[in-house]
Amino acid sequence: MCLIRAFELEVAKLYRDGEIPGFVHTSLGQEAVAAGVCGSLREDDYLATTHRGHGHVLAKGADLDGMMAELFGKASGLCGGRGGSMHIADPGRGILGANAIVGAGMPLATGAGLASKLMGQGRVAVAFFGEGAVNQGTFHEALNLCAIWDLPVLFACENNFYAEFSDSRTLTRVPSVAERAAAYGVVGETVHGNDVEAVAAATGAAVERCRSGEGPALIEFETYRWHGHYEGDAQPYRPDEEASSWRERDPLEITAMRLAEDGATTEELEEVRADAATRVTVAVEAARTAAEPDPKEVFAHVYGD
């Protein structure tokens, strides 16, 4: 969680300073979901994420230097500088990719789950999505297919209460995402998404059910993004008191207090934070000096090349 926090804070700054091209969507405040879910997966399990997927990809084990270089658009990036913030992928670690299309990761995870079942791989596929994607057809189609085919897919909803710029609680008469799962015969539950232990416990149990052949599962993680939909969003749609209230439920501070109660010292906790910040600083410097992609390769990976 400290590594994700350090990464996102630095990326937000770099974007504001004009060093990172394109758009950037940070997951500050949502670190417990990424860490708790991905910490419950095997290295070969599949993951499909969203435009706000830096934390998920890092938690799944993607190379930090390669991540940062990708955001800078450098040749040493995970996708050779072609993907940028919203299209990072690392198939070797089961990371099927971030996706700029709302809800598009769920069909990808469904396909991966089907492949796992047909090939007897025993791999689970996780689809991250926001509650705003639940009103997309892809959610219902993917959930239904996974249910009738008993696919090993975990639908991981990060409910941060805002679908881009709209309060998602005003967009449906059934605000609970978990309740919608019942319509497809799928087990759904709601979990405190800022409590990494609760996230890990719920995910661990759901993943084992998926892996044992009991079909898909859905978990709704209630959390809150600290920054706007994208970096630079003025957020006029959010009440100040609501944002302040959620910042008091910082997932890193919740975990730090628990660790302190279990005997961790202030020095040990600060060492973890400092180590994460140092690793990110090193990755930034490496990305700044990395080579630019060769223009001659602009058509590589296009039309089967």
* Interval 176-218: pLDDT, tens: 999 999 999 999 999 999 999 999 999 999 999 999 999 999 9
Give the pLDDT confidence score for residue 233 in this predicted structure. 81
Give the pLDDT confidence score for residue 305 in this predicted structure. 56
At residue 171 the predicted structure's pLDDT band, cuts being 50, 70 and 90, is: confident
Six token digits for residue 160: 């941060």
Helix/strand/coil for 190: strand
Query: For the purposes of burial, counting CB atoms within 10 Å of the CB of 8, is it exposed (0-12), middle (13-18) or buried (19 or more)?
Result: buried
Q: In the chain, pLDDT over 90 holds for what percent of residues?
A: 82
Over residues 250-274, mean pLDDT: 96
Over residues 251-277, mean pLDDT: 96
Q: What are phi and psi of 158, to 5 degrees?
A: -95, 95
Q: Tell whether domain 2-297 is in CATH 3.40.50.970.
A: yes
pTM of the model: 0.93
Annotated domain spans of the chain: 2-297
How far, CA to CA in Å, does 23 sit from each of 83, 102, 204?
A: 12, 15, 33
At residue 245 the predicted structure's pLDDT band, cuts being 50, 70 and 90, is: confident
- Catalogue the long-range contacts made by 141-146 (C-beta closer than 8 Å, 24 or more residues apart): 141/107, 142/106, 142/107, 142/109, 142/110, 143/106, 143/181, 143/184, 143/186, 143/216, 143/218, 144/184, 145/110, 146/110, 146/113, 146/186, 146/215, 146/216
1: nearest Cα among 254, 292, 298: 254
3-state secondary structure 192-240: ECCCHHHHHHHHHHHHHHHHCCCCCEEEEEECCCCCCCCCCCCCCCCCH
Q: Which one-letter amino acid corresponds to residue 191? A: V
Give the pLDDT confidence score for residue 232 in this predicted structure. 82
Give the pLDDT confidence score for residue 198 in this predicted structure. 98
